[in-house]
Amino acid sequence: MSFPFINKNKAQKKILEASYALIDRAKKVVKYRRHLLDDSVLASINLQVSALESSIGTKDFANLESQSNDLSRLLKQHGGDVAQETWLGENVESLFVAILLTIAIRTFFIQSFQIPTNSMAPTYNGITCKLVSPEARAAGIWSKVWHKIKFCSREVNVVATNNGTVSIPLRKAKLMKNDDVIYVVPYEEVFLRKYLGLARTKGRKYTIFVDGRRYQIISPIDLSLDKILLERFCKGYSSWKEVVADSKFDQNFDQDRRISILNTKYPIAVGDTIIRFEIFPGDMLFVDKISCHFRLPKVGESVVFTTNAIEHFSKNPKFFIKRLVGRPTNTLNIKNNQLFVDGKLVTTNGISEKLNSKAEGYENGYYPIGMLAEGYSVTVPEKNLFVLGDNSQDSYDSRFWGFVPEKSICGRPCIIFYPFTNRWGKCK
């Protein structure tokens, strides 16, 4: 069974769409080439447009096609490049407006921001990684696809091409908090390509060995692989310092003894996975930029700011996210891993209160170091702010490099829009 009226309606709809597009081009020709055209030509174009609009209004399809052809010929003759039926010609104005609108929105209203590090964990996560479990390896293809979409993860898999035991280089380092000696896995800073090779970004290149053969593992610049390498090859130990102290592991020092090669005695055969892990990007936020034009953030709110006016970062300005804990004239100090403002324990500022009460996820409280070391206090000067990371044990914040000028505040994070974890939704 056929329905001829359906095809007829479709044909009429196409004629109407073409007629409207033709009228738009005609109006652009009149607007942009008025100074180049004779009055008689302009009058002819306007007359044809009026006739076409009249036929559209009365749905006189018998005359629409012929009138459209007449106007099209007139525009081709006198319209120049403005009258060309190209995608760019039809949409350049819309594209220009869209670009201006996007710039305006990013500058004054809202902008996306990705958390680079874990200084605000567990409130916000920076880039993290975890070993791929046997269950994850055995999952079906659609489960794996959904997992990648949900968490925006990517997988790193290093496979052995020889037999042997795994050895890992270690370097001595001093812990910034108390000058204690620790051991870390050294890495080389390299440049990586992203966005189909159009942009460069910094990364870390780790080198481990299987019976002397080198294997390289690449990670983003903000992602340390110390913990995941420890978990993979020395499970049960809490740090590389514990591993080094255990006499069952062999160490070979290089010539200047700055780097030691630790034999983990972990056996690997040809074809085995040396290490396989997933990398998860930091939380992606929308930052409210409009409110900072009308008011400063309140104490207890998390803020995004630029470091270009902070002397310590003058050569390498960045965007940071921290929590505002002190405003001008406030005096701050840390005692018993608790934050005091103007001599009073903070008990009403959400996350700050959780840190002070050592709630779940925030058990370590505030760490006294730098400007807020035990026995020290600091008073915030005028037109400046004091910020701390929620992960106080591992946050590079005002305790080390000082105050944030009020003018450096860019906005407040409002929504975590990706990935789809239990933190998704309104920011804390």
Predicted confidence (pLDDT) per residue in 119-130, tens digit: 998 899 888 999
Whether 88 shows a pLDDT value over 70: the answer reads no
One domain, residues 80 and 17: yes
Residue 157 lies in a domain: yes
Residue 156 · residue 218 · CB < 8 Å: yes
One domain, residues 257 and 272: yes
Distance between CA atoms of residues 41 and 26, nearest Å: 12
Neighbours of 347 (CB within 10 A): 10
Query: Which residue among 238, 262, 280 closes a domain?
Result: 280
pLDDT of residue 5: 40
- Read off the pTM: 0.68
**283: DSSP letter:** P
Q: Which amino acid is at 343?
A: G
Residue 177 lies in a domain: yes
- Residues 133-191 have pLDDT tens digits of 888 877 888 888 888 888 888 899 999 999 999 999 998 887 655 557 788 999 999 98
Q: Which domain holds residue 188?
A: 128-280
Query: Which residue among 222, 250, 280 closes a domain?
Result: 280
Residue 104 lies in a domain: no
Distance between CA atoms of residues 303 and 323, nearest Å: 6
Residue 1 pLDDT level (bands cut at 50, 70, 90) = very low
One domain, residues 383 and 407: yes
H/E/C letters for each residue in 114-147? Answer: ECCCCCCCCCCCCCEEEECCHHHHHCCHHHHHHH
How does strand 409-418 pair with strand 425-426?
Answer: antiparallel
pLDDT top residue among 2 and 139: 139
Return the closest-CA partner of residue 279 out of 409, 126, 154: 154
Q: Hey, what's the torsion of the CAs at 263, 268, 273, 275, to 10 degrees?
A: -10
Counted domains in the chain: 3
Return the closest-CA partner of residue 334 out of 301, 363, 370, 377: 377
- Residues 341-359 have pLDDT tens digits of 999 998 777 898 999 998 8
One domain, residues 365 and 413: yes
Q: Which amino acid is at 40?
A: S
Residue 114 lies in a domain: no
Residue 93 lies in a domain: no
Q: Which amino acid is at 65?
A: E
One domain, residues 304 and 416: yes
One domain, residues 371 and 331: yes
One domain, residues 275 and 294: no
Query: Which residue among 229, 259, 280 closes a domain?
Result: 280
One domain, residues 351 and 243: no
Residue 205 lies in a domain: yes
**CATH assignment of the domain containing 53:** 1.20.1270
One domain, residues 230 and 317: no
One domain, residues 270 and 162: yes
pLDDT of residue 329: 94
Residue 119 lies in a domain: no
Residue 116 lies in a domain: no
**CATH assignment of the domain containing 341:** 2.10.109.10
Distance between CA atoms of residues 398 and 409, nearest Å: 14
One domain, residues 260 and 313: no
